[in-house]
Structure 1
Amino acid sequence: MEWADHGKRLFIWAVVMWALAAAAVMLRLISRGRILRVLGPTDWFIILTLLLSLINTIAIGFHVVHGLGHRIADLSWDEIRVFFQVVYGAVITNNLSLSLTKISVLLLFLDIFVLSWVRRVTYILIVLATLCGLFTLLSNILYCLPVSAFWDFTILDRRCIAVPFKYYVDAALNLTLDFAILFLPLPVIWPMTLPWRQKLWLYSVFVLGFFVCVISVLRFHFIDKSLLTSDPTYTGIYLIFWSMMEINVAIVIACIPTLKPLVARLCPRLLTTPRSCESDEPNELPQPPTISSPRRQPLSPEMQHL
């Protein structure tokens, strides 16, 4: 089958976005592994997420090969069956990668924050993100009984979860966790006294984090258009596009806070004040208060990725 124009553009976008996510993860590993030497579970989670995003990108290619972007009336029954087989696998990897990205960010918070109440809330969010991830994973795997009924419409004795309800619940849980993770650090970071360049760095990270929430809202909007339709192979392209964007942008943003040591090593003037640049030790970063205390004290290696 020839690739539809919409499908070609979607696949190109998917490859480009995955390449950006892979570059961000590579820079993160250099920053935390080679400079700080603090690689930990948060980094393994983000690597696993990147691998799942790669699987999702490959799945998009299979989608396009097997009818995505074409009208369903123009497809054979075999092409429709294969299309929904790919959808089944893609939905599982998509939701799993989003859950792992959230857990990776929350584990990074545990490396950064030492205030007890922030850590308690972070642990709670980790538990909630894990439970939500397990719920979406199991409900996606067992979406229909028997499982093959998801793509084999000749099975008459089939029991499936109500389509709109399932995806509304998944999207609502995902969006709620996105906003909770975005706003968790604000009460601590907002009152901090930092050089304006470091403040700009932090605020930029949160603006990008808000962008992920916007993408989640857009994906939520396209659920109606993609699911409540008689032509899923054509209109589903919008939902797949925003799902792909959400995964890869989330990976990039999860990596940005960890890149400060690398930026400080390569371009120290971007993160230092003019006074510190003129000091006897030009490569030394200013010593603002830590994220958990108003007192002035040197930053620990773990804190320097902020």
Structure 2
Amino acid sequence: MAAPPPSPDQFPPGYLEEDHGGRVIAAVTTILVITTILFGLRLWARSLTTAQRGWDDHVLIPAYIFLLALCGSLYAEVKQAGLGRHTVAVVMEDPNKVTKYLLLLYLLDWFYVPSNMLSRVSVVILYLRIFTDKWARAACWGVIGFLVANCLATIIAAQLECTPLAFTWDKNIEGGRCFNQILWYQLTNFPNIIGDVMIMILPIRTVWGIKASVGRKAGIASVCLTGSIGLIASCVRTSVFYIQADVIMTDPTFADEAFSWTAIECGMYFSAACLIGLRPLLARLPHFVKKRVLNASDNAGGTYAHQTNKMHLGKYYNSHYASIVADDEIGLRSQGEIPLRPTIPPAHFGRDPYGKDLSKSEIRVETNIEIRRDFDRSYP
């Protein structure tokens, strides 16, 4: 015999009216706005370069589509399935909403997992395009294989979550059973964290081997680290499944934090993939920003090549000692943005006084600037 429906008098005042769905809506909307803007900037940045679009750009398109589907599912969870409200309140209003909630929860894996995988693969493909060391490239392929395998394994496991599969969202099917779902939610987050750590350490060897100042290496490393900012959200999301395990099992529609951090994690992965490709937009910054910020960061390394940006010569000497100028740099030269580069006669190549063959290893540039002033002898 079915149990009688609960009475509203059994619950404390305000319990049935409590609704946290607005927090999920706020999180999803924020992520949707930020990722859309960054994706647009990424496409614009690629249009500013002459290089052809690579696979790191192409895979972001399906990643964004999956992200949109994820956001749409979360909106539907709140508006149509009662996410953010206590389960008992949802059942008293419409028992079918719980079935819809579980169905949308099942569909989330089809959007969340591929979007995360494609966003991180985009970052690794970018590394693959710029790394020349065979071991670094092999590591990139290994990370890509791990990310793809984890995505496929997670989706396959989601199909085996309950037997029959329809029992995943329809608990009225007789004889249906599921494995420990909360344990599965907890464990499936750790491969994401491992993948993030692998992406974070990928560029370390290459950046460390660059022949540049510590300041320049730190700047390059900071750009690479943007590809791993999703690690923060992934760790927080994992902790939510442990802290709120009881709520997720006994009052699932009220477990709004898990859904909010799902959207945030997915959005941060996609944002990281977009941010790491925005370098060409720096050329579009206002002149005073480039002069004060970019030059300041370059000069922090203390190298002579960067310090020459501060040297200004007159038109006569400028024409003699800065003859290697591209057509699009002439206008910038007048603003002091292009460092002076001396003309190097072919005779300067060969061996230096110490007998080292410079043509095979490095270039030694010696520039002598002689300034003469003729005095007017006729002046008494």
Which residue is equivalent to 1:95?
Answer: 113
Q: Which residue of 1 aligns with 2:131?
A: 113
Q: 1:206 to 1:112 in 2, by over 3 A?
A: closer
Q: 2:355 aligns to what? A: none
Amino acid at match of 2:22: K
Question: Per-residue deviation at 1:149?
Answer: 0.8
Separation of aligned partners in 1, 2:235 and 2:213: 33
Q: CA deviation at 1:42?
A: 1.3
Report whether the alignment pairs 1:41 with 2:55.
Answer: yes
What is residue 78 of structure 2 aligned with on the other side? 64
| Alignment-mate amino acid for residue 294 of structure 2 | L
1:83 aligns with 2:101: yes
- Larger relative helix fraction: 1
Q: Report how far residue 85 of structure 1 moved.
A: 1.0
Q: Which residue pairs with 2:377 in the alignment? A: none
d(CA) in 1 for partners of 2:308 and 2:52?
26
- CA–CA distance in structure 2, aligned partners of residues 44 and 207 of structure 1: 21
Residues of 2 paired with 1:47 and 1:57: CA distance? 16
The CA distance in 1 between the partners of 2:226 and 2:54, in whole Å, is 24
Q: 1:284 to 1:58 in 2, by over 3 A?
A: farther
2:260 matches 1:241: yes
Give 3-state SS (helix, strand or coil) of 2:20's partner: helix
Q: What secondary structure sits across from 2:174 in the alignment?
A: coil
Distance 1:50 1:240 in 2: 18
Equivalent residue letter for 1:75: V
Q: Which of the numbers 1, 4, 7 marks the counterpart of 2:21?
A: 7
1:266 to 285, 290, 299: 285
Q: Does 1:257 align with 2:280?
A: no
- In structure 1, the gaps of 5 or more residues are 288-294, 298-306
Q: Equivalent residue for 1:172?
A: 190
What is aligned with 1:127?
Answer: 145
> Paired residue for 1:231?
251
- 1:68/1:192 CA distance change after superposition, 3 Å: same
Provide the residue aligned with 2:39 in structure 1.
Answer: 25
**C-alpha separation between the residues in 2 aligned to 1:64 and 1:103?**
31
Q: Given the superposition, is the C-alpha separation of residues 211 and 34 from structure 1 closer, same or farther in structure 2, using an over 3 Å criterion?
A: closer
1:154 aligns with 2:172: yes
Q: Which has the higher contact order (CA 8 A, sep 6+)?
A: 1
In 2, the alpha carbon distance for the partners of 1:85 and 1:253 equals 30
Cα displacement (A) at 1:201: 4.1
1:175 Cα deviation from its structure 2 partner: 0.8
Per the TM alignment, residue 214 of structure 1 is displaced from its structure 2 partner at its CA by 2.1
| d(CA) in 1 for partners of 2:339, 2:200 | 26
223 and 244 in structure 1: CA distance in 2 versus 1, 3 angstrom threshold? same
Instruction: Tell me by how many angstroms 1:264 deviates.
Output: 2.4
Question: Per-residue CA shift, 1:219-243, capped at 9, x if unaligned?
Answer: 11111244443011112x1111111
Cα–Cα, structure 1 residues 131 and 104, in superposed 2: closer, same or farther, change >3 Å?
same
Q: Kindly provide the amino acid, as one letter, of the partner of residue 235 in structure 2.
A: V
2:236 equivalent to 1:218: yes
Amino acid of the structure 2 residue aligned with 1:34: L
Please point out which of 30, 33, 51 is paired with 1:16: 30
Distance 1:285 1:143 in 2: 62
The one-letter amino acid of 1:16's match is: T
Contact residue 72 and residue 232 of structure 1 kept, 8 A: yes
Deviations 1:88-134 (A, max 9, x none): 11122111211111211111111111111000010111111111111
Normalised to the residue count of structure 2, the TM-score between the two structures is 0.68
Structure 1 range deviating more: 141-150 or 65-74: 141-150
How far has the Cα of 1:178 moved from its partner?
0.7
2:353 alignment partner in structure 1: none
Question: Given the superposition, is the C-alpha separation of residues 152 and 195 from structure 1 closer, same or farther in structure 2, using an over 3 Å criterion?
Answer: same
Secondary structure at the aligned position of 1:75 is classed as helix
- For the 8 Å contact 2:123–2:276, the answer to whether it is kept is no
Secondary structure at the residue paired with 2:172?
coil
Q: Percent identity?
A: 23
Contact 1:69–1:234 (8 Å) recurs in 2: yes
Letter of the structure 2 residue corresponding to residue 271 of structure 1: L
Q: Measured at CA, do residues 112 and 198 of structure 1 come closer, stay the same or move farther in structure 2, by a change above 3 Å?
A: same
AA partner of residue 30 (structure 2): V
Paired AA for residue 210 in structure 2? M
Give the structure 2 partner of residue 303 of structure 1.
Answer: none
Deviation at 1:207, TM superposition (A): 5.0
Read off the aligned partner of 1:38 and give its amino acid letter.
Q
Opposite residue 83 of structure 2, the aligned amino acid is L
State the partner residue of 1:53: 67
